[in-house]
Structure 1
Amino acid sequence: MLSNMSPMQYIYNHGGPWPPSAPLGSIIGYAGHYMPQLSQLILDNKKITNQTVINLKGIAMQKSFHAHTSFCYSTAVVYRKSTNWNILNCSGDTDIVVSATTTRYVLNKLGLSVKTPWYAYISYISFLVERILYSMLVQVGGYAVEYDNLTFVTVRGAGHFVPSRQHARALCLFSSFLDGNLPPSYPNIPKMKGALVLYLTLICLVASATQCYGEHGYYGYDPLAKFFKAPSLRKSVNHVNKELDSEYSPVYIGPQDGLKAADKITALPGEPKGVNFDQYSGYVTVDPKAGRALFYYFAESQNPSTKPLVLWLNGGPGCSSLGAGAMNELGPFRVTKGGKMLWKNPYAWNNVANIIFLESPAGVGFSYSNTSSDYITGDTKSAADAYTFLVNWLERFPEYKTRDFLMTGESYAGHYVPQLAQLILHNNKITNHTAINLKGVAIGNGYYDIEAQANGSYDYYWTHALISDEIHHGIVSNCNFSSADPPTEACQAYQSQANSALGNIDNDNIYAPLCSSNTPPWINAYDPCSFNYSYTYLNTPAVQKSLHANTTGIPGPWETCNGYIGSNWDDEPDTVLPLIKELTSSGISVWLYSGDTDSVCSVTTTRYALNKLGLSVKTPWYAWYTQDEVGGYAVEYENLTFVTVRGAGHLVPSYQPARALTLFASFLDRKLPPSNHS
C-alpha cells in the first residue's frame, strides 16, 4: 500500500519516481537524479543555443538518491564541466531512507581527490526567547569535506528533510553555499553585520538551541570518555577477572538500631506538594578502622511492600548515583533552573520499584574515608565495599531481607554490576548470614570489553558520519585492538585524529544541544544544563541537612564526578564478559540496553561484545513500542536480553524517560518489551 511507504521506499520497490500526486517536498531525495541531469542539460545547451544563457553557478543536493549508475555518470559529467562553480551534497545524519552512509559510498565511487580534509563546522546563530536577544553562540552544525569542485556536508541531527529538522543549521549551510565558501570552522566564524544577525535570528528562532559545555557535572567532565581516550590513565593492562576465594571472608556488620528512623527524610527543600512515598538517606559504614562510609539515597515506591528492591549504580569510574541517577535520570525529582526547586518526574523508576542510589566508591559524592589512600581504588575494592554496604543496609531495613533484589546501572557499571553480582552469588553459597535474594541485573550503555569498546567506537563514529573515510580506513588498517602490544604510532595518530574530528559535541548524545548560561528552562523534557542545577541544589546547606549528608565536613564542594578517583583507578580487567557469561548460567535475569545516540559506550560496542559471548538467539530482533511509537529494538538470547532505546544517549532515562520506564518495567516483570502499539 502506498500510504504505508515513504517516497524513497516506493522508488526502491518499484524502480520509479513517486506518483505525481505526491507533494513536491516528498521527492527531495530523487532530486539526486534531477539536479545533475538538469545541470548537464544546461551546460550542454549553453554552447549551442543563441537564447539567453542560464548563468549556472552551482548545485546543492540534499539527501540525494544516488543508487543508480546513471547518477554516477551524470555527476561525473557535471563534475568535469564545473570547474568554475560549486557542487554541494549535504546529508542529514539521522536519515535512513537516503543515509549519509549511502552518499559516502557513492562519493567513493567518483574517486575524487580531497582538497580540504574532514572537519567539524560551526553553526552560528542568535536566538530570541521572550524578546530577549542572547549573545551569539556557536555549536557543531555537522561535518564537511571538500573535494576538487565538490563539497560534502553532513547536518547533525537532521533527517531526510534537512531544513525541517535543523532550520538554523540548514540556513547557515545554504548561506555558505551561496557565498562560495566552506561552512565555517571555529574560530573562523565570519563577521556578520547587524541586519544579517537579526535576519538569521528571526529565521532561526529557537530552531536550534546552541550551548557550550556546562561548568559542572557530567557534561563538563566525561570521565569514561577521557578514560578511553587517554590509555596512559589506565593503570592495569590485560588483567583478567579474578577467581573468588572458595572460603568466605567475613565482612563488617555494624549496629543498625535506630538508624533507619534517623535516616528518614522529612521533606526535601523545594519538593513539590503531594509526595506520597517515603525517602531515606544517610551513611553506612563499610570499614570503621579506615573511617570509610558510603552515602545512599533511598526512594520507596508508593506501595513498597509489593515492589522489589533495586540498587542503582552510576559509572565513571568516580561519578555519583545521587547527582546523576537520582537527580537527572530516574529518580522521583528533577531540579529546576536555579537549583532551588524540585519538580516531580512522572517517569521515575520508584513508580514500579524501591530504588537505592549508592554513591560508590568512597570519595564519590558525599561518600568519604578518613584514610586518604582509600581514594586510590579499583574494581575489586569497590565491589567488596558495595557488598558490605548491602549487608549492613539490609540490617538497617530488615523488611527487605527476603525481597526480590535487582541491580541496575550504566556506563562503568558495566564493571560494577556484574562484579558485585558475582560476589553476591558467591557469598550466598558460603555465608551463614541472610542471603541477598538477587533476581536480575540490567546494565545500560556499559563498558564490558576493551577490544569491543575500541573497534565499536570507531565504527560507530564512521557509521554516524562523525569521522572521515580516511581516518576510519587508517584505524582499520593500522590498529589491532585485540593485540596485547601497545598501539603503533600510526594507530595512535589516527585515533587522535578521530577524537579531534568529533569537534565540540556532547559525546553522551551526539545529537543533543550543549549547555550555556543562556539556555531557557525546560520542563518535563531533556535540559542540557540540568547537571548544573543539581550541583547547585546538592551544595545548598539546607539540602545537605535534609539529606543527612556531609556530616563530617568533606573538604570542597559536592561534585557529580571525582576526577582524582577516575584518573587513579588501579584495578580494572580488560573484559567482564566471562562474568556476564557466568551470570547467564546462574538463573538470574540479565539485560543489557543501549541508548542509540551515545558515542561513549555505543550500541555498536555492546553488539560487538555480545557477539563475543556466542549466545544463541531465542527471539529474533524486533521493534518494541511505547506510547504508540517505536521505543527501540530488542533481541532475546538464551538467558540474556539486549534492548536498544531509540533517541537516547548515554544516560538513557535523561533523554527518553518514558521509554526507559517501559524498558525497566519489562525487566522487572521478566517480559520482553511490548511488540505492539497498545
Structure 2
Amino acid sequence: MAKRQIFVSMVFVLLVGLIGANEEEEADRILQLPGQPKVSFQQFSGYVTVNHAVGRALFYWLTEAVHDPLSKPLVVWLNGGPGCSSVAYGASEEIGPFRINKTASGLYLNKFSWNNVANLLFLETPAGVGFSYSNRMSDLLDTGDRRTARDSLEFLVRWLDRFPRYKHREIYLTGESYAGHYVPQLAKEIMTYNIQSKQTINLKGIMVGNAVTDNYYDNLGTVTYWWSHAMISDKTYRQLVNTCDFKRQKESDECESLYNYAMDQEFGYIDQYNIYAPRCNSSSGGTSTITRHTMRLPHQPRRIFRQMSGYDPCTEKYAEIYYNRPDVQKALHANTTKIPYKWTACSEVLNRNWNDTDASILPIYREMIAGGLRIWVFSGDVDSVVPVTATRYALAQLKLETTIPWYPWWEAGQRCIKG
C-alpha cells in the first residue's frame, strides 16, 4: 500500500509539473504579429529568468519548423556584437521566417528561412541585448564572455523545462561574428553540465559564420584582407603589420591612429560588412552614420556580417522602428517590465563595457572535437570586419587533416560561362 501511494504521488507531481510547463508555454504563444502573413507553423516568445536574485532575464523567439516540427532538430541562433540582437539580425534579416518591409508596417515571408528544415530558437544574450534585461542596471556595465556563457546555459536548461517536448531533441548551436565566442563557450558549458547532470542536453554540434576566433590570427587576417582587397594602401598595410601587436587586447595609440587613418582616408564610402554592396543612406530610408567602433582592432566585440542574397543595407533601421512599436511588443510578450531605454539592434553600452573576452577560442575547438561534436565553420568573402582570411589563419592552427580536397561549390546548376 505504501509503495502504491508513493507511485501515485510521483505521478501526481509529474502531472502538475507538465501542466505548469504547458501553461507557461501557452502564455508565450504568439497569436499573430502585426502585419504578419498567415503561416502554418507555431511561434512562441517571452522571457526566461536566469538570475532571480537580481532579476536578470533573457528574451527568446521560437519559430517552429514548417513541416513536422516534432521530428526536426532545435537550432539555437545567437548574434554577436557583443550587444547585438538575434531578433534584429538572425530572425529579421538572415535566417528567420519573416522580413520587415521598408515602411516597418508589416512582415513578408523569407523563402530561405531555416525553419523550413528545423525549429529555430533566437536568443538575445546577454542581458541588455534587445529585449533581454536586468533589474540590476550595473550588470550592463560589468559583463563579458563568462557571464554570457553561464546565463545562456541557465536559459537553455530552464527553457527546456518550459518546452519538455524538446528535452531529448537534437540541438545545434549556431551564430555569427562575436558569437564565434558565444557558441563554443556555451557548447563547453553544456559539455560540463552533461558530465555533472543526470538530465543531459542532447547537443550534437555547432555552426558559426565569419566568427571571431583568435585575437592574433583574426587581426592579422583582417589587415591582410583589407590590403588584398585594395581597401588600404601598401604603405598603411606595412605600417599596421610592423607597428601593431595583434595579440594585445588594447592597442597602442600609434596603432589606433593607423586604423583610424585607414578607415577615414582609405576605405572610402563602403559597407564594411559587405564591401561590394551599397550602403544605407538617407535616400534609402536609413542614415549614413559610420559605426567605426565595430572596426576597432585587435579583434574586440564585433557586430554581424550581412548576407548577399536579397541584400538591403537598411534592414536594421526597419527593425528599430518595428520592434519599438507597442503593438509589436505586446504580441511578442516583450518589454513587460518597461525597460528604461529604447529597443535597439545593438547596445552601445554593452559594447563599450565588455569586461572579459577569451584571447583565443581554439582550445575550446579542440575540446569539442575530442568530445565528438560536429563543427561547421563557414565564412563569407565580402565581410571585411571578420573576414575569410581571418577564419583561414585561425583554423589552420588546429592542424586538422583534410579528408575532402578543395572543390568549387555550385548553386542551382550555376556555372561560369567563358566569354
Normalising by the smaller structure, the TM-score range is 0.7 to 0.9
1:346-357 aligned at under 5 Å gives the runs 346-357=111-122
Query: Of the candidates 197, 209, 217, which is equivalent to residue 452 of structure 1?
Result: 217
2:165 partner letter:
E
Change (3 A) 1:477 1:337: same
Distance in 2 (alpha carbons) for counterparts of 1:322 and 1:385? 18
1:315 aligns with 2:100: no
Give the CA deviation at 1:341.
1.2
| Equivalent residue, structure 2, for 1:334 | 99
| Equivalent residue, structure 2, for 1:568 | 353
Give the CA deviation at 1:630.
6.5
Structure having the higher strand fraction is: 1
1:608-627 aligned at under 5 Å gives the runs 608-627=393-412
Select between 532-541 and 591-600 the one with higher mean Cα deviation. Answer: 532-541
Change (3 A) 1:297 1:488: closer
Contact in 1 for aligned 2:210/2:391 (Cα 8 Å): yes
Contact in 1 for aligned 2:76/2:120 (Cα 8 Å): yes
Give the CA deviation at 1:438.
0.4
Query: Of the candidates 411, 421, 429, which is equivalent to residue 177 of structure 2?
Result: 411
Query: Of the candidates 252, 264, 270, which is equivalent to residue 505 of structure 1?
Result: 270
CA deviations over 1:234-276 (Å, ceiling 9, x no partner): xxxxxxxxxxxxxxxxxxx9x7451100101111110113x01
| Equivalent residue, structure 2, for 1:397 | 163
2:231 partner letter:
L
1:158-197 aligned at under 5 Å gives the runs none
Contact in 1 for aligned 2:22/2:163 (Cα 8 Å): no
Contact in 2 for aligned 1:440/1:589 (Cα 8 Å): yes
| Equivalent residue, structure 1, for 2:301 | none
1:348 partner letter:
S
Change (3 A) 1:587 1:530: same
Q: Secondary structure at the match of 2:49?
A: strand
Distance in 1 (alpha carbons) for counterparts of 2:400 and 2:164? 38
Distance in 2 (alpha carbons) for counterparts of 1:423 and 1:486? 27
Larger radius of gyration: 1
Distance in 1 (alpha carbons) for counterparts of 2:415 and 2:120? 27
CA deviations over 1:356-376 (Å, ceiling 9, x no partner): 000100111111111112112
CA deviations over 1:460-518 (Å, ceiling 9, x no partner): 00100100111112223333424x59756654443333233213321111111111242
| Equivalent residue, structure 2, for 1:258 | 23
Q: Secondary structure at the match of 2:328?
A: helix
Contact in 2 for aligned 1:409/1:442 (Cα 8 Å): yes
CA deviations over 1:56-96 (Å, ceiling 9, x no partner): xxxxxxxxxxxxxxxxxxxxxxxxxxxxxxxxxxxxxxxxx
Distance in 2 (alpha carbons) for counterparts of 1:405 and 1:311? 7
Identity between Structure 1 and Structure 2 (%):
49
Distance in 1 (alpha carbons) for counterparts of 2:405 and 2:131? 44
Give the CA deviation at 1:344.
0.3
2:172 partner letter:
L
1:103-252 aligned at under 5 Å gives the runs none
The normalised TM-score by structure 1 is 0.53
| Equivalent residue, structure 1, for 2:10 | none
1:61-100 aligned at under 5 Å gives the runs none
Q: Secondary structure at the match of 1:389?
A: helix
Change (3 A) 1:486 1:374: closer
| Equivalent residue, structure 1, for 2:52 | 288
| Equivalent residue, structure 1, for 2:149 | 383
1:554 aligns with 2:318: no
1:568 partner letter:
N
Give the CA deviation at 1:306.
1.3
Contact in 1 for aligned 2:21/2:164 (Cα 8 Å): no
Distance in 2 (alpha carbons) for counterparts of 1:546 and 1:323? 16
Change (3 A) 1:489 1:280: closer
| Equivalent residue, structure 2, for 1:461 | 226
| Equivalent residue, structure 2, for 1:541 | 326
| Equivalent residue, structure 1, for 2:40 | 276
| Equivalent residue, structure 2, for 1:26 | none
1:364 aligns with 2:159: no
| Equivalent residue, structure 2, for 1:248 | none
1:481-520 aligned at under 5 Å gives the runs 481-482=246-247, 491-500=255-264, 501-519=266-284
Contact in 2 for aligned 1:471/1:498 (Cα 8 Å): yes
Contact in 2 for aligned 1:624/1:630 (Cα 8 Å): no
| Equivalent residue, structure 2, for 1:20 | none
Query: Of the candidates 195, 198, 205, which is equivalent to residue 440 of structure 1?
Result: 205
Select between 467-476 and 511-520 the one with higher mean Cα deviation. Answer: 511-520
Change (3 A) 1:615 1:561: same
Distance in 1 (alpha carbons) for counterparts of 2:69 and 2:223? 44
CA deviations over 1:117-147 (Å, ceiling 9, x no partner): xxxxxxxxxxxxxxxxxxxxxxxxxxxxxxx
Give the CA deviation at 1:333.
0.3
Contact in 2 for aligned 1:577/1:613 (Cα 8 Å): yes
Aligned residues: 373
| Equivalent residue, structure 1, for 2:62 | 298
Runs of 4+ aligned residues of structure 1 deviating over 4 Å after TM superposition are 484-493
1:470 aligns with 2:231: no
Distance in 2 (alpha carbons) for counterparts of 1:626 and 1:328? 21
Q: Secondary structure at the match of 2:45?
A: strand
